[in-house]
Amino acid sequence: MFKLTVHNIRTAGIVLVCLITLLVSGCSVTPQIDPTLPDEVPIHTAEEVLTPGTIYASDVYDPIEGFNRRSYAFNYYFDKYVFLPIVAVYEFILPDFVEDRISNFVDNIFEFTNFTNNVLQLKPDPAAITLGRFVLNTTVGVAGLWDPATYFGLERQTEDFGQTLGHYGVGDGPYIVLPILGPSNLRDTTGLVVDTVAFSLFVDEVQSDSMDDNDVHLIFSGVAAVDKRHRQSFRYYQTGTPFEYETIRMLYRSKRQIEIAK
Q: How confident is the model over 33-49, as pLDDT tens digits?
A: 444 445 555 544 444 54
Terminal alpha carbon distance of the chain = 35
Region for 169 from its dihedrals, namely left if φ exceeds 0, alpha if ψ lies in -120 to 50, beta otherwise: left
Judged against a pLDDT cut of 70, whether residue 201 lies above it is answered with: yes
- Tally of structural domains, the chain: 1
Q: How confident is the model over 134-176, as pLDDT tens digits?
A: 999 999 999 999 999 999 999 999 999 999 999 999 999 999 9
Range of the domain at 217: 2-261
What does pTM read for this prediction? Answer: 0.76
Crossing angle of helices 84-93 and 2-25, in 10° steps, is 70
pLDDT reported for residue 217: 77
pLDDT reported for residue 56: 46
Judged against a pLDDT cut of 70, whether residue 197 lies above it is answered with: yes
pLDDT reported for residue 215: 72
